[in-house]
Amino acid sequence: MEMISYWKNAQEIYVDGGLTLIIGKYDHKNQHHGGEKALGIHWKDYPQSRGVLSPCVVPKTTRSAILSGLLHQAVINGNKEQITKLSEAIDFFRSET
Protein backbone atom coordinates (compact mmCIF):
# COMPACT_ATOMS: atom_id res chain seq x y z
CA MET A 1 0.00 0.00 0.00
CA GLU A 2 1.15 3.51 -0.79
CA MET A 3 2.36 5.55 2.21
CA ILE A 4 1.51 9.21 2.75
CA SER A 5 4.16 11.59 1.40
CA TYR A 6 4.76 13.14 4.84
CA TRP A 7 7.02 10.17 5.61
CA LYS A 8 10.45 10.39 3.92
CA ASN A 9 12.79 7.39 3.53
CA ALA A 10 10.65 5.25 5.83
CA GLN A 11 11.86 1.77 6.62
CA GLU A 12 10.32 -1.03 8.66
CA ILE A 13 12.22 -1.89 11.81
CA TYR A 14 9.77 -4.16 13.61
CA VAL A 15 6.78 -6.25 12.61
CA ASP A 16 4.61 -8.27 15.01
CA GLY A 17 1.52 -9.71 13.38
CA GLY A 18 -0.18 -6.68 11.90
CA LEU A 19 1.71 -4.12 14.01
CA THR A 20 4.55 -2.38 12.18
CA LEU A 21 7.06 0.18 13.43
CA ILE A 22 8.91 2.39 10.96
CA ILE A 23 11.64 5.00 11.18
CA GLY A 24 12.21 7.90 8.83
CA LYS A 25 11.76 11.62 8.58
CA TYR A 26 8.26 12.96 9.14
CA ASP A 27 7.39 16.26 7.49
CA HIS A 28 3.83 17.19 8.47
CA LYS A 29 1.99 18.53 5.44
CA ASN A 30 5.41 18.76 3.71
CA GLN A 31 5.91 22.16 5.34
CA HIS A 32 9.03 21.59 7.45
CA HIS A 33 11.86 21.34 4.92
CA GLY A 34 12.34 17.57 4.99
CA GLY A 35 10.99 16.87 8.45
CA GLU A 36 12.39 15.44 11.64
CA LYS A 37 13.44 11.93 12.57
CA ALA A 38 10.45 9.98 13.86
CA LEU A 39 9.18 6.57 14.86
CA GLY A 40 5.91 5.67 13.22
CA ILE A 41 3.36 2.96 13.91
CA HIS A 42 0.65 1.38 11.81
CA TRP A 43 -1.42 -1.79 11.70
CA LYS A 44 -1.35 -3.42 8.25
CA ASP A 45 -3.24 -0.78 6.26
CA TYR A 46 -4.54 1.31 9.18
CA PRO A 47 -4.64 4.27 9.73
CA GLN A 48 -5.42 5.67 6.32
CA SER A 49 -6.18 9.07 4.91
CA ARG A 50 -8.05 9.05 1.60
CA GLY A 51 -6.96 5.48 0.91
CA VAL A 52 -3.26 6.12 1.67
CA LEU A 53 -1.42 4.53 4.63
CA SER A 54 -0.77 7.25 7.23
CA PRO A 55 1.39 5.91 10.09
CA CYS A 56 1.07 7.69 13.45
CA VAL A 57 4.09 9.49 14.88
CA VAL A 58 5.16 8.14 18.30
CA PRO A 59 6.19 10.84 20.83
CA LYS A 60 9.91 11.00 21.70
CA THR A 61 9.67 9.66 25.28
CA THR A 62 7.40 6.81 24.26
CA ARG A 63 9.67 6.11 21.29
CA SER A 64 12.63 5.56 23.61
CA ALA A 65 10.64 3.26 25.88
CA ILE A 66 9.33 1.18 22.98
CA LEU A 67 12.72 0.79 21.31
CA SER A 68 14.56 -0.08 24.53
CA GLY A 69 11.86 -2.55 25.57
CA LEU A 70 11.86 -4.27 22.19
CA LEU A 71 15.67 -4.40 22.17
CA HIS A 72 15.63 -5.97 25.64
CA GLN A 73 13.10 -8.57 24.43
CA ALA A 74 15.22 -9.33 21.34
CA VAL A 75 18.33 -9.83 23.50
CA ILE A 76 16.44 -12.13 25.91
CA ASN A 77 15.11 -14.15 22.96
CA GLY A 78 18.46 -14.17 21.17
CA ASN A 79 16.91 -12.76 17.99
CA LYS A 80 19.98 -11.36 16.24
CA GLU A 81 18.06 -9.90 13.30
CA GLN A 82 15.80 -7.88 15.62
CA ILE A 83 18.79 -6.85 17.75
CA THR A 84 20.48 -5.46 14.63
CA LYS A 85 17.40 -3.62 13.31
CA LEU A 86 16.49 -2.14 16.69
CA SER A 87 20.10 -1.12 17.42
CA GLU A 88 20.23 0.63 14.05
CA ALA A 89 16.95 2.41 14.86
CA ILE A 90 18.31 3.59 18.22
CA ASP A 91 21.46 4.85 16.48
CA PHE A 92 19.26 6.66 13.94
CA PHE A 93 17.79 8.75 16.78
CA ARG A 94 21.06 9.44 18.63
CA SER A 95 21.63 12.51 16.52
CA GLU A 96 18.37 14.43 16.12
CA THR A 97 19.48 16.14 12.90
Q: Look at residue 29 and give its three-state secondary structure.
A: helix
Tens of pLDDT, residues 7-41: 999 999 999 999 999 999 999 877 778 899 999 99
Q: Tell me the CB-side half-sphere exposure of residue 82, using CA atoms within 13 A.
A: 18
H/E element, 26: strand 19-26
pLDDT digits (tens, 9 = 90+) for 65-80: 999 999 999 999 999 9
Q: How far apart are the first and last CA of the chain?
A: 28
How are beta strands 56-58 and 36-43 bridged, if at all?
A: antiparallel
